Chains A and B, each alone.
Chain A
Amino acid sequence: MASETDYVTLISKDGFSYVVQRSSARISPVLKRMLDPTGAFLEAKDNTCILQDMPGIVLEKVCEYFYYNEKNKDARDVPEMDIPTELCLELLMASDYLDI
């Protein structure tokens, strides 16, 4: 079993890869389970998730949200993240899939 790295790689369906902090990515229960080193998933071994349904532009926003969420974990009156209108339906699907 590969050791638990600080960073994990998320790859979009069109081949863009994003390297994000593991702690941030674990906000999504789905990714958390995928990357759980005690689990038997291939993703955990490679520390890489291939998200077949997400185009790079959506995944980029998702990664942005990971950091936004991590940064505002303990804050109150958090400023809302800007979501581009044209992306919001796709992003909604992605957020539903990732359960975030």
Chain B
Amino acid sequence: MSSRRNGARNIRGPQSALTDFLAANNISAAQIRTDYDRRRQQTAQDATNAGEGPSNATPEQDDDEALAAAAQAEEDEKKTKKRKRTEEDAIDKIKKAKSSKGGSKAKGKKGKKGDPDDDDDDDADFDGDDLGMYKKSRPAPGQFEHCDICNKRFTVTPYSKEGPDGGLLCTPCGKELKKDLKKEQRATTKAVGTGRKRRKVESEKLDGIAVGGAKSLSQLCIQKVAQHHDDIEELGDLPQSVLERLSEIFSKKRVMKSKTLPLFLRPDLDSVIVHDAAYLEEEDYRQMFAVVPNLRKLVLSNACQLKDGAIDYMLERCHNVRHIQLYAANLINEGMWHRLFREAGARLEVLKLTWLDAAFEDLVVRDLVQYCPNLERLKLKLCRRLGQDAVVTISDLPALKHLSLQISQDVSTETLVNLVQKRGSGLQTLSLEKFLDADDSLLEAIHDNCTQLSKLRLCENDTYTDAGFTSLFTEWNNTPLSFVDFNSTRDVDNNNPTGPEDAIGLASSGFRALMAHSGETLRHLDISSCRHIELPAFMDVFNGAENYPALEYINISFCNRADTSVVAGIFKSCPALKQLVAFGCFDVQDVVVPRNVALIGVPRAQDAIEQFGVGIGVEEAISRMVEMAA
């Protein structure tokens, strides 16, 4: 005990630090002194009744004796006033006794810390709450201290860690604490997402999943479900829209296999949508049609193992199929295609077939037209063996409303004109991709025959002229369009890089006419690579005064005349804008993107390829751009 005491005596914070601390806490020495004097007088008065006795308290005394000794010491003090040291010792004694009785570590430490030294002024003051304010004064390196956690004695170093209660820790405890801290930090940084692959984040932004702000809760949940696809036994009765979304994600992650497919098959549903069926085999297709006999909508992409047998089974089981969408279903033979249309054609309303190779040819299309009188929506893209005859036959589909064609073989303009003349009046969607030979006579036919179009795509062509587009949109009897895609209608000739004198493809006047006709309802505008649209045309169309209330998506990639002011004008003219794609517009620089808009493809060297607005409105963004330009 005495050795501990001696040890404690050695501990003494540097005077300057103490003074600093006191000053910082607005404690004046004078005040302490007066307090002390007052308190000492009071104790003296209180102790008047106590009897006299030996004033020397020896370390061997037990607790009771210590208490008595203290009382006597105080009495002594009152009487003689010069036996200060004795009193001091006695109080020490009491404190020690108390602390050892209680066994409390904190108290022991406090007592030790607060131990009065031979400092005359403020020794007796250190009791009770006053000790608290010295807790944080850190002992100098080289001194001994008791660990705040394990209470072991150790030598203080400059690297000693501070414990949770403010005391110092010994080396092992410090290490523990550091480890815990690191773990915590790692957890938080993980949540912040630095560990996530940057590529994935960017891809989500380009996909429009993350357009600033937080993701939607359902998006978060769907991600989580997809992450645990192996452990799910049943999805319960999720609504169909959510189920379809999940199916998309499963396909994207390539986990749509025999094991997971049953999650999406429910007898009460009327659709099977699998966007990546590459892993599914004959048995899975059979199961599909067995579980969902009320099938109305069938979507199978990458259906590379879909064979005649499965289609046969479908024709047998499912008598209500209205919607068939297949991608790369190349193991279905010609005979089965014929049978499919003959047996199920009468009810078919939607048919979308892409990337069919050997078996699907013009004769099959003839059957398709003959046996599917109710077909409203037809999409045939990249079917290798289809040619002009197929287009001729399609023009006899009576109920057609939505038509998308991309045919690899040459199709003459007359055939297309004939198609538009026959079906144009009923069409709401017309998408003709990559018909290289189609010329202004087609545009004229559209102008003359179509009155209900809302979606028009004419892309990858170098024959339409600007004049043709202008006259299409001038005094056109059609309701304003909501979806327009004229990408890559331009002349490409290395010998004449600036293009012909009379512009080929959508150019200035055609663009002005388009926006004048459809601006008020236009939602989606793709004019990428329409390289002859001049700056004044952009300026006139997006002048900030004109308003395009529905426009959400604009692609002006490789319209190399567009500059920063055009982009600013777009921000101002399109209040609903979500995405602006501008790859290859080299005059667009230093754009400040307003809130809720994603600008894609305008990078400065170090920048992300996509930028979106954070918390600034259109006005502020534009004024900042002006400042930057100045």
Residues in A lying within 8 Å of B, measured CB to CB: 62, 65, 68-69, 72-83, 85, 88-89, 91-96, 98, 100
Residue ID in chain A nearest B595 by CB atoms: A74
B81 contacts partner chain A, Cβ-Cβ < 8 Å: no
Q: What is the CB-to-nearest-CB distance from A59 to chain B, in angstroms, rounded to a whole number?
A: 12
> Is A69 in contact with B214, judged by CB distance below 8 angstroms?
yes
Interchain CA distance A30-B372 in the complex, whole Å: 42
Residue ID in chain A nearest B189 by CB atoms: A79
Pick the residue among A73, A75, A79, A92 that contacts B218 (CB under 8 A).
Answer: A92
Residues of B near A98 (CB, < 8 A) are 217
Q: A75-B614, A79-B192 are in contact. Are A91 and B221 (CB under 8 A)?
A: yes
Q: A65-B217, A69-B214 are in contact. Are A89 and B201 (CB under 8 A)?
A: no
> Is B614 in contact with A80, judged by CB distance below 8 angstroms?
no
Interchain CA distance A98-B228 in the complex, whole Å: 24
> Is A88 in contact with B221, judged by CB distance below 8 angstroms?
yes
> Is A96 in contact with B212, judged by CB distance below 8 angstroms?
no
Q: What is the CB-to-nearest-CB distance from A92 to chain B, in angstroms, rounded to a whole number?
A: 4
Residue ID in chain B nearest A70 by CB atoms: B214
A-B contact pairs, 24 of them (CB 8 A): A65-B220, A69-B213, A73-B213, A73-B615, A75-B614, A78-B210, A79-B193, A80-B191, A80-B223, A82-B191, A88-B224, A88-B228, A89-B221, A89-B235, A89-B236, A91-B217, A91-B221, A92-B218, A92-B222, A93-B242, A94-B217, A95-B218, A96-B239, A96-B241
B264 contacts partner chain A, Cβ-Cβ < 8 Å: no
> Is A96 in contact with B238, judged by CB distance below 8 angstroms?
yes
Q: What is the CB-to-nearest-CB distance from A94 to chain B, in angstroms, rounded to a whole number?
A: 8
Residues of A near B213 (CB, < 8 A) are 69, 72-75, 78
> Is A78 in contact with B215, judged by CB distance below 8 angstroms?
yes
Residues of A near B31 (CB, < 8 A) are none
Q: What is the CB-to-nearest-CB distance from B204 to chain A, in angstroms, rounded to a whole number?
A: 11
Interchain CA distance A88-B218 in the complex, whole Å: 9
Residues 211-255 of B contacting A (Cβ, < 8 Å): 212-218, 220-225, 228, 231-232, 235-236, 238-239, 241-242
Q: What is the CB-to-nearest-CB distance from B545 to chain A, in angstroms, rounded to a whole number?
A: 28
B612 contacts partner chain A, Cβ-Cβ < 8 Å: yes
> Is A62 in contact with B217, judged by CB distance below 8 angstroms?
yes
Residues of A near B214 (CB, < 8 A) are 68-69, 72-73, 75, 78, 81
Among B214, B217, B223, find the residue whose CB has the most chain A CB atoms closer than 10 A.
B217
Residues of A near B191 (CB, < 8 A) are 79-80, 82
> Is B612 in contact with A76, judged by CB distance below 8 angstroms?
yes
Interchain CA distance A83-B215 in the complex, whole Å: 13
Interchain CA distance A62-B8 in the complex, whole Å: 57
Interchain CA distance A73-B279 in the complex, whole Å: 40
Pick the residue among B220, B236, B241 that contacts A83 (CB under 8 A).
Answer: B220
Residue ID in chain A nearest B227 by CB atoms: A85
Residue ID in chain A nearest B217 by CB atoms: A95
Among A73, A76, A81, A95, find the residue whose CB has the most chain B CB atoms closer than 10 A.
A76
Given A82-B191, A85-B224, A89-B232, 15 new contacts (CB under 8 A)? A62-B217, A69-B213, A69-B217, A74-B212, A74-B615, A76-B212, A79-B191, A80-B191, A81-B214, A83-B224, A89-B235, A92-B218, A94-B217, A95-B217, A96-B239
Q: What is the CB-to-nearest-CB distance from A40 to chain B, in angstroms, rounded to a whole number?
A: 27
> Is B217 in contact with A89, judged by CB distance below 8 angstroms?
no
Closest 3 CB pairs of A and B: A74-B615, A95-B217, A92-B221
Interchain CA distance A93-B239 in the complex, whole Å: 8
Residues in B lying within 8 Å of A, measured CB to CB: 191-193, 201, 210, 212-218, 220-225, 228, 231-232, 235-236, 238-239, 241-242, 595, 612, 614-615
Residues of B near A89 (CB, < 8 A) are 221, 225, 232, 235-236, 238
Q: A69-B213, A74-B213, A77-B193 are in contact. Are A96 and B614 (CB under 8 A)?
A: no
Residue ID in chain A nearest B232 by CB atoms: A89
> Is B614 in contact with A76, judged by CB distance below 8 angstroms?
yes
Interchain CA distance A93-B243 in the complex, whole Å: 10
Residue ID in chain A nearest B212 by CB atoms: A76
Residues of B near A77 (CB, < 8 A) are 193, 201
Q: What is the CB-to-nearest-CB distance from B247 to chain A, in angstroms, rounded to a whole number?
A: 13
Q: What is the CB-to-nearest-CB distance from A6 to chain B, in angstroms, rounded to a whole number?
A: 22
> Is A96 in contact with B218, judged by CB distance below 8 angstroms?
yes
> Is B225 in contact with A100, judged by CB distance below 8 angstroms?
no
Residue ID in chain B nearest A69 by CB atoms: B214
Residues of A near B216 (CB, < 8 A) are 95, 100
Residue ID in chain B nearest A91 by CB atoms: B221
Residues of B near A95 (CB, < 8 A) are 216-218, 221
Residues of B near A83 (CB, < 8 A) are 220-221, 224
Residues of A near B215 (CB, < 8 A) are 78, 80
Interchain CA distance A71-B212 in the complex, whole Å: 12
Q: What is the CB-to-nearest-CB distance from B322 to chain A, in angstroms, rounded to a whole number?
A: 25
Residues of B near A96 (CB, < 8 A) are 218, 238-239, 241-242
Q: What is the CB-to-nearest-CB distance from B61 to chain A, in angstroms, rounded to a whole number?
A: 61
Interchain CA distance A93-B210 in the complex, whole Å: 21
> Is A85 in contact with B228, judged by CB distance below 8 angstroms?
yes
Residues of A near B614 (CB, < 8 A) are 74-76
Residues of B near A82 (CB, < 8 A) are 191
Residues of B near A88 (CB, < 8 A) are 221, 224-225, 228
Residue ID in chain A nearest B192 by CB atoms: A79
Interchain CA distance A2-B408 in the complex, whole Å: 66
Q: What is the CB-to-nearest-CB distance from B188 to chain A, in angstroms, rounded to a whole number?
A: 9
Interchain CA distance A65-B210 in the complex, whole Å: 16
Residues of A near B236 (CB, < 8 A) are 89, 93
Pick the residue among A73, A76, A80, A85 that contacts B220 (CB under 8 A).
Answer: A80
Among B191, B213, B222, B232, find the residue whose CB has the most chain A CB atoms closer than 10 A.
B213
Q: What is the CB-to-nearest-CB distance from B207 to chain A, in angstroms, rounded to a whole number?
A: 15
Interchain CA distance A100-B241 in the complex, whole Å: 14
Residue ID in chain B nearest A73 by CB atoms: B213
Interchain CA distance A91-B612 in the complex, whole Å: 29
Q: What is the CB-to-nearest-CB distance from A99 to chain B, in angstroms, rounded to a whole number?
A: 8
Among A65, A75, A89, find the residue whose CB has the most chain B CB atoms closer than 10 A.
A89
Q: What is the CB-to-nearest-CB distance from A46 to chain B, in angstroms, rounded to a whole number?
A: 25
Interchain CA distance A76-B212 in the complex, whole Å: 5
Interchain CA distance A85-B193 in the complex, whole Å: 19
Interchain CA distance A91-B215 in the complex, whole Å: 14
Interchain CA distance A74-B214 in the complex, whole Å: 8
Interchain CA distance A83-B225 in the complex, whole Å: 10
Q: What is the CB-to-nearest-CB distance from A49 to chain B, in angstroms, rounded to a whole number?
A: 17
Residues of A near B235 (CB, < 8 A) are 89
Residue ID in chain A nearest B241 by CB atoms: A96
Residues of A near B201 (CB, < 8 A) are 77
Interchain CA distance A27-B241 in the complex, whole Å: 20
